[in-house]
Amino acid sequence: MNAAETQKTADFLKALGEFNRLSLVYELCRCESSQNAMCLCDCCSVDASVVSRHLKVLADRDIVMFDKVGREKTYRLNRNKVATQLRELADLIENEDCKRGHHDV
């Protein structure tokens, strides 16, 4: 893993590493359809403007995707992207070369 890939992974984990953002991800895991910020407020016990800021961070890291109709944005979890990134990290951690200290960082 080179420095750019390591930074990308660090940014991804940082986005997931905040309590309210991870709560939003968990909530979106349970949703079958896209949700707006107001619908997601209950999972975090914060107001819609704070939820919107957290959703922007998640969208910037491709963790969530959104559709905009007029002024309203609805968000959905980018399940494939999130699962792939977490799986790649888990695979790297389990890799024998990584265990022996042979990595490119």
Give the model's pLDDT for residue 41: 87
Q: At what angle do helices 48-60 and 19-30 cross, to 10 degrees?
A: 80
Strands (E) across the chain are located at: 64-69, 72-77
For residue 104, pLDDT over 60 is answered with no
Question: Which residues neighbour 68 within 8 Å (Cβ) at sequence distance 6 or greater?
Answer: none
| Helix H or strand E segment including 82 | helix 79-94
pLDDT score at 32: 87
Mention every residue, 6+ apart, whose C-beta is less than 8 A from residue 105.
1, 2, 3, 6
Instruction: Locate 103 and state its tokens.
Output: 């990595």
In the chain, where the domains are located: 3-99
* pLDDT tens digits along 26-83: 999 998 899 988 889 878 888 889 999 999 999 999 999 999 999 999 999 999 999 9
Q: For the residues 6-19, what does the mean pLDDT come to?
A: 95
CB 35 within 8 A of CB 76: yes
Which CATH code, of 3.40.47.10, 3.30.1700.10, 1.10.10.10, 1.20.900.10, is assigned to 3-99? 1.10.10.10
The model's pTM is 0.84
